[in-house]
Amino acid sequence: MPSVVGLLEQHELAARRRVDGLREEADRIQAELAAAEQEWQEWAIARRRVGTVLAPDGGSIADEEAVPGPRDADVRSAPRKAAKPKSQVPVWREGLAWSVLSVDYQRILEALADRHRLHQGPLTCQELAVMFGMDVVPAKVEALRSKAKLLVARGWLAEPAPGRFTLAAGVSGPGGAS
């Protein structure tokens, strides 16, 4: 007859194996989700660019000020005015100042720049919400995640692990200098 302790150990082992299996599946799904989100963002960017090109004004950029640096058909310089709350997030490039971003995006970059300066690791959106004094509720956290993902897609941030954000290589202080 098996001992009670032996039976408990068997059940514990089975439960641990189930947890390990579910963790592996969750990691796989998280990686697949990150890849799907990236593809979705790329299609959304492509659609916006085609919409800009097909716009009645022909996608003119004559009213935008040029910034010295690499000239790329996909990378346009942003106007040197203060960012509006609903402004677009331009693709990051050397020398582009944080002032082209809205205040919300600048706050995210500042928090991650502080972490970088202190040699601390990446942050999750929940941690950002706490730092900003926000209620850590799904709507607020998802709003931050959406902003962080857009900053990743545009080259301002990096996502070394799913849901963990840090400054992208080359991006540093508020002036945009590296």
Specify if 174 maps to a domain.
no
Distance of alpha carbon 47 from alpha carbon 94, whole angstroms: 25
Which one of 60, 87, 106 terminates a domain? 60
**pLDDT one-digit tens code per residue, 14-60:** 999 999 999 999 888 888 888 888 888 888 888 888 888 887 765 55
Range of the domain at 18: 1-60
Percent of the chain whose predicted confidence (pLDDT) is above 70: 79
Distance of alpha carbon 65 from alpha carbon 131, whole angstroms: 35
Tokens of 34: 């990150």
**pLDDT one-digit tens code per residue, 110-142:** 999 988 888 888 999 999 999 999 988 999 999
- How many domains in the chain? 2
